[in-house]
A and B are shown apart, each in its own frame.
Chain A
C-alpha cells in the first residue's frame, strides 16, 4: 500500500470494530498533526473524545465539538466545518485534522442523505487545509452502507496512516445514482401559490414579496420558512436570468413540508455538484445563488420535463412547538428594539476598533 503524504486536503474513512481500533489508527495521525503545528478537531462520541484527548496529552490545540450539533444535515456539516477550519487557521494553526464519528441511521432516506454528504464533502471542503477522518463502527453497518462509505472517501485510514482507496468514485457519479430524499412529496395537492408566464427579472421584488406572504400565511414565519424563501428567490433569479422564459413557479406550503418547482424553457444544467462548491470570483459570481440554496433548504433537484428544465426545492418542517408557558415566555423583541440594540452594540464596537487602530 502506498502512503499518502501529498495534498493538503485528505478525506479518509476508518471502518473500525472497537474503541481500541479507533485509537490505534488515529492517535499517531493526530499526534503528527499537532507536532506539525496543526489543530485537532474531534466531533465524535463523548467517550471517544475523552479517550483521544487523553492519548494526545490534553493538548490545548484540541477542539471538541458536539457531533449532535454538526451532523444534522449536509449543509450544516459543510458550513460548520468551513468555519471551524478557518477559525483555527486565523488562530495560527497551519492546518486542521478532524475526526468525525458519523451517526448512521440505516433507514433508506437517512443513509442516502449521508451518502450524498460524504460525496459532497470532497468538493465543498477540498480547498481547505483539512485532513479529516470519518470513523464508522463496522459492526453497526450493512455491507451496502460499507460500500457507500468506501466509494465516497479517496483514502482509507490504517494504523500505518492514510492509504489510497481504489474503490473511490468521483462525487458527481455518486450523486447521480443516489436518490435525493423524496419522502412526503406534496405535488399531488393544489399549490399554495402558482405563478406562470414570468419573463421580467424586474419583477423579482414583487415575486419575493408574494412568496414570503404565501410562506408566512402557512404558519409561523420561522427561520426554516425564511431560509426557504431565500432559496426560492435565488432559483427564481437563476431561471429568469439564465433560463429561457416563460418561467413557471409553484409552491406548496403545508404544516410539515415546504416544496416548490421553478420551470423554464431553457436547457438548464447537468451538474449534480452545482452549488456544492463555494462561488467563484467574477461578476456576477458564478454559483453564489446555488451555494446559498444548498444551505437554505433540505434538497435541491434539477431535472428536465417535457416542457423544459425544472428545479425542485424542499424542506421538511418539524411539528409545531408547544406555546411557551407564561413563566418561561420572554418579552417580545420588536424589530425596532433589536435594531436599536444593534446600533448601540455597533457604536461600542466602532469605538473599540478606532481605539485599537490608534
Chain B
C-alpha cells in the first residue's frame, strides 16, 4: 500500500538514475529499461559515444538475446549522435517529435560520458533539471547512467536531487510513494553516500513532514544510521519532521541502538503492537 512501484517493471519508468559500479551492472540495467520500453510499445531514443563500438547499444542487446531488429527497422529504437540527442533548443523537441510519430510514450537514455562529450558539467546538470520537469509534463521516461566511481560529492548530490524517486544502485533504490518517498534494498558502506544524498535532497524538497517508507529496506548498517542525523539535521532544526515508516525489525533495532529515535524531529514508526 502506498508505493506506486507495485507493478513489475515500473521501477524503470519516470526519471531514473542508474548508478553502476561495473559495465555488467550498467548493461543489466540498460537491458531491463529497454525491454520495458519495447513491452509498452514506446519509442526508445538512445545516444552513445561513437568511438566505443564495443558497447554500442544494438549489438549489445542482440548479444544478450534481446531481438531489436524489428524495433530498429520500424523506427521504435533509434540511436542518435550526442549532438542530436542534446539539441541546443532542448530535449523537449526530441521527445515531441517522437510523440508526433504516434508512439504512446517516449523513453530516452544516455551515459553521462556521452552527455559530457557535448555539454559542460553545469550544462549536464541543467539538462537533468529540464528532464525532470519534462518527465512530469510529457508521457516519457528518461534514464541517466552514471558511474558510481566518478559520481561523488556535489556531482552525486546534484544527480540524486534530480532523480529523487528513481535512484537505482546495485543494492539500493528509491521510488515515489503516495505519501512521500520509499526506499528499497540494503544500505551499507558501499552505498551510504547515495543513501545520505537521497535523504538530504528529500528533506530539501519537503516543508514540514518528510515521509520515508522503509518497508522494503532489509538492512541499514551502523554508519548509515548515524549519518541520518547529518543528512537531515538542517531540515529538522528548521522545524521539519522526518517520519521513518514501516521499518523491518532488524532495521529498527539498528536505528534504536544508534539512538536515531532520540534525535529531535525524527520519528520511527515500526508497527509493533
Contacts and interface: CB of A to CB of B under 8 A. Distances in A.
B188 A237 contact: yes
Contact of B221 (A233, A278, A347, A349): A233
Given A237-B188, A285-B226, A346-B269, A339 B246 contact: yes
A223 B262 contact: no
Binding site secondary structure of chain A: helix
Q: How large is the interface on A (under 10, 10 to 19, 20 to 34, 35 or more residues)?
A: 35 or more
Interface in B192-213: 192, 208-209, 211, 213
Contacts of B227: 283-285
Majority SS of interface residues in chain B? mixed
A342 to B, nearest CB: 3
Nearest to A87: B262
A339 B270 CA distance: 7
Given A237-B188, A353-B241, A226 B250 contact: yes
Interface of A: 79, 82-83, 86, 201-202, 204-205, 208, 223, 226-227, 229-230, 233-234, 237, 241, 278-279, 281, 283-285, 288-289, 291-292, 295-296, 333, 335, 338-343, 345-347, 349-350, 353-354, 357
Given A201-B190, A333-B273, A291 B258 contact: yes
Q: Which of A292, A333, A341 has the most chain B CB atoms inside 10 A of its CB?
A: A292
Contacts of A234: 221-222
A192 B75 CA distance: 57
Contact of B269 (A281, A291, A292, A349): A349
B226 A288 contact: yes
Nearest to B245: A346
The 3 tightest CB contacts between A and B, nearest first, are A342-B271, A292-B222, A338-B271
A226 B253 contact: yes
A346 B208 contact: no
A133 to B, nearest CB: 25
Given A284-B192, A288-B225, A354-B208, A343 B258 contact: no
B257 interface: yes
A354 B243 CA distance: 12
Contacts of B246: 338-339, 342-343, 346
Nearest to A202: B190
Given A233-B219, A291-B222, A295-B257, A354 B171 contact: no
Q: A335, A341, A342 — which one has the most chain B CB atoms within 10 A of its CB?
A: A342
